[in-house]
Structure 1
Amino acid sequence: MGRVKSAARNIAFGYIGNIVTQLLGFVLRTIFIDHLGDTLNGVNDLYTGILSVLSMAELGVGTALNFSLYGPVARKDYEKIKSYMLLYKKAYRVIGLVIGVIGLVISPFLPYLVKQPQGIEIRDLTLYYFIFLFNTVSSYFVAYKYSLVNAEQNNYIQTNIITITKMITVTFQIIVIMLTENFYLYLLTAAFVELFQKIAVSRYLNKRYPYLLERKVAGLSKEETGEIIKKTKALVFHKVGDVARLQTDSMIISAFINVTLVGYVGNYNMVLTSVANFVNIIFNSVLSGFGNLIATESREKQYQIFKVYRFFACWVYGFSAVGFFLLLTPFIIIWQGAEKVLAVSVVACILIDYYFKGDRIVLSNFKTAAGVFEQDKYLALIQGVVNLIISIVLVQKIGLVGIYIGTIVSGLIANVTKPLIIYKVCFDKRVGAYFADSVKYLIVLVVILGILTGLKMTVMREVTVGSFLVMFGTICVVFNSLFLLVFGRTEEFGYVWEIMKKSGKRIES
């Protein structure tokens, strides 16, 4: 199956899975807040963030090994696949144990991270945390098997498994909350369902790839092992820096402001993530295709495809960022009430970082698929330090908005440096055209936002469901019409249009 067809299939299943899981998640969060309150909602979001930080123990091993699998999978070299997968298995078992130990060491410090947990005892905070920790640690004993599925460009298998598990988990959790209003049972329900899923998935993947159960496995050569170690060492810095930049906001909010505000921010992030996941599915689904492209095509072909995906990212992320800026707070008002609204300055900062993150996703995906890790191995670490310093200093001076200023500044470092590396190492081209396009895309988005902001003053004078829907339709029509007016005749749009037409014909047939 070709790269485009594989990506299209992965995207289709990704969309279906995302619609189901996000709708269920929205219903669950609404019921959770109604029955368990904002404080436990904040604790739930905080612990999710803490466990994301702990997951940095993976330190890029999975990324390095996934890259190593692209070649053997393309050649159908099963002996080499077995060798890499055995190494992956051993590494992830060690990682799971390391996360468990680090998690236990952190537990005594929870009272310093959870500020103003109204009505919750320290003993309960600790036990809640241990349940989260168990779920995270146990996942590492199965997760490595997905790497082979994804290297074959069959990401939809993992997507479908996650969707089914989410459906079952959320259904049981809703029932538990409504019948008992007990946070312990809520967490244990997810733990038991996900544990069963991990066992079932392990057996399924063993049947799909029976050769992985063979005991006779040749070891990797010193050169192959050395290459993985070299890339992993470089990725350690990327991983630690990314965690420090992306996964610490909830902890800073909880430690310096209060844990309830973590829940309010989480409401915004849930809506943002729910829609953003639709966008991310496209770019994550083509990651394995990038790996195959780089393994089989010329640099010029790689460059052409990169420009297309970059253009598409600016279009889709720009559209969604503008839509979020105009509609995210009205949605929160309709859903949760005006008392849980964040300041306009905070929302603006969140969405500025969201838009530039779109560029970074395309850059990072291409770098990952190409195995370009070492040239900027200290970059993410620098970003993480910059983010923590700015966020911690400014949160004490100007509050919540200071945290997100740190996020924006640290993120822009990568928006400048990653293109320099990719254009030199992967394409052997000058990077000026990339930054010229960046300015061009940004100017167009700002102009369109200004026009739509003016229209909003007429269309949405009051926040109601009706005015919200009318404004949503207005944004869809006006933004895309103006964007296509400017970029509709470009080579990049022509490529995207041809893919859309081919996809439409396959659906019709």
Structure 2
Amino acid sequence: MSENNRTTQSIKNVRVSLFFSILILILGFFSRKILIECLGAEVLGLNTTATNLLGLLNLAELGISTAISYTLYTPLYQKDYKTINEIVAVQGWLYRRIAYIILAGGTILMCFFPWIFSKMELPLWYAYGSFGVLLVAAMLGYIVNYQQIALSADQQEYKISYNVQGFRALKLLMQIVGIGYFGQGYVYWLAVEFGMSAITCFFLHRTIHKSFPWLRPDLSKGKMLSRKHTEIIRKTKQLFFHKFATYVLGQTSPLIIYAFLSLTVVAVYGNYMLLVVSVSMIVTSVFNGMNAGIGNLIAEGNKEKILSFFREYTVSRYWIASVICFCLFNLSHSFMVLWIG
């Protein structure tokens, strides 16, 4: 791919992802505020805790998607469709097994909910409902839409954004209206969460096969092909430690806070984390839109150009991170007072 096409695709990915990230950021703040006002801080804290419990189970993913993306750059650059189908088949085979592990782990974990949520004042079915809906949504992603990695690696991340982020924005809007104006707001919230997850999977699956009609991975050969593409397993093992560190850094705090305090305090902490995560999401959306272009550049093999881009890319990331950290440290509390009160 020429440098101009690579740059054009990267800009398109960044533009679409940035638009949806900002839209979801705005809707997310409204959704959280309405959830607190209409259903209470404890419900919000419950959702945060359920999300982090699921995040613990998602460690089983091990970083496979990143490893797969890395191995797809070269065959996509060379238009080697046979190899692409083989690599995606390995991913599908691995994801099926991960889905079974997460489902089994989630089922076992729910057996301990009466003990885990013993301090919760809400009915226990709230915990089962929240976690169950999030678990089903995760299963759909692992079993149905694992092939989206081909879009991402082929610099078509914007198509994923249109489907995933677009329907997520619609979901938040429906939840805001439902919680604010309908009775049984929490049941409505759960129904919309489940329904939109299924709809997102359907449309994303259709988009994938419209973009890659030749993509027909044979999952029955996944185990055999994993022995051929050993680099996937090797890279996955290397990435697992980074994935585990990310989970410990970003998702264990709410669980510890709930263990020693309450779901209400988790909700307060979650308000600050929403601000941090939202800003991070905007920055990440910008850089993620460039990932496939970087992979394509590496596949091209021009070492001088690769090294020059690496230096510029790294400096820009550190500079942006420094500015954001300074602003968050000094302005986050004032924003909370303005937003929540």
TM-score surpassing 0.5? Answer: yes
Quote the residue 2:91 is aligned against.
88
How far apart are residue 122 of structure 1 and its match? 2.6
Letter in 2 for 1:160: Y
With over 3 angstroms needed to count, the CA separation of the structure-2 counterparts of 1:217 and 1:108, relative to structure 1, is: closer
From 273, 277, 280, the counterpart of 2:281? 277
CA contact (8 A) 1:11 1:285 kept: yes
The one-letter amino acid paired with 2:238 is A
Residues 19-418 of structure 1 aligned to structure 2 (within 5 Å):
19-114=22-117, 116-118=119-121, 120-178=122-180, 179-213=182-216, 224-337=228-341
Q: Distance in 2 between matches of 1:243 and 1:285?
A: 23
The RMSD of aligned alpha carbons is 2.3
Percent identical residues: 28
Contact 1:36/1:181 (CA < 8 Å) preserved in 2? no
| 1:166 shift after superposition | 1.4
| Greater Rg over alpha carbons, structure | 1
Runs of 4+ aligned residues of structure 1 deviating over 4 Å after TM superposition are 214-223
CA distance in structure 2 between the partners assigned to 1:110 and 1:290 by the alignment: 44
Q: What is the alpha-carbon distance in structure 1 between the residues aligned to residue 326 and residue 84 of structure 2?
A: 44
Distance in 2 (CA, whole Å) between partners of 1:225 and 1:13 is 33
The alpha-carbon distance between structure 1 residues 88 and 214, as it changes in their structure 2 partners (threshold 3 A), is: closer
The secondary structure found in structure 1 opposite 2:119 is: coil
In the TM superposition, what is the alpha-carbon distance from 1:112 to its structure 2 partner?
4.4
Q: Are residues 231 and 216 of structure 1, via their aligned partners in 2, closer, same or farther at CA, if it must alter by over 3 Å?
A: closer
Structure 2 Cα separation of the partners of residues 211 and 257 of structure 1: 53
**Aligned position for 2:17:** 14
CA distance in structure 1 between the partners assigned to 2:227 and 2:302 by the alignment: 25
Q: 8 Å contact 2:59–2:243 — kept in the other structure?
A: yes
Structure 2 counterpart of 1:173, one-letter code: Q
For structure 1, the residue ranges without an aligned partner over 5 or more in a row are: 338-509
CA distance in 2, matches of 1:162, 1:222: 29
**Alpha-carbon spacing, 1:194–1:221, altered in 2? closer, same or farther (3 Å):** closer
CA distance in 2, matches of 1:282, 1:94: 32
174-183 or 307-316, larger mean C-alpha shift: 174-183
Quote the residue 1:402 is aligned against.
none
Gaps of 5+ in 2: none
Change in Cα spacing, 1:293 to 1:224, as seen in structure 2 (3 Å) is farther
CA contact (8 A) 1:115 1:256 kept: no
* Cα distance change of structure 1 residues 314 and 236 upon mapping to structure 2, 3 Å threshold: closer
- CA distance in 1 between counterparts of 2:153 and 2:236 reads 18
State how far apart, in whole Å, the 2-side matches of 1:285 and 1:42 are. Answer: 32
Could you say if the C-alpha distance between residues 128 and 163 of structure 1 is closer, same or farther in structure 2, counting changes exceeding 3 Å? closer
- Partner SS, residue 334 of structure 2: helix
Shift of 1:330: 0.5
State the match for 1:466 in structure 2.
none
Instruction: Give the secondary-structure state (helix, strand or coil) at the position aligned to 1:143.
Output: coil
Tell me if the contact between 1:114 and 1:255 (Cα under 8 Å) persists in the aligned partners: no
**Cα distance, 1:40 vs structure 2:** 0.5
Q: 1:68 to 1:161 in 2, by over 3 A?
A: same
Over 3 Å counting, the alpha-carbon distance change for 1:106 and 1:315 in structure 2 is same
The change in CA–CA distance for 1:320 and 1:43 in structure 2 (over 3 A counts) is: same
Number of equivalent positions? 336
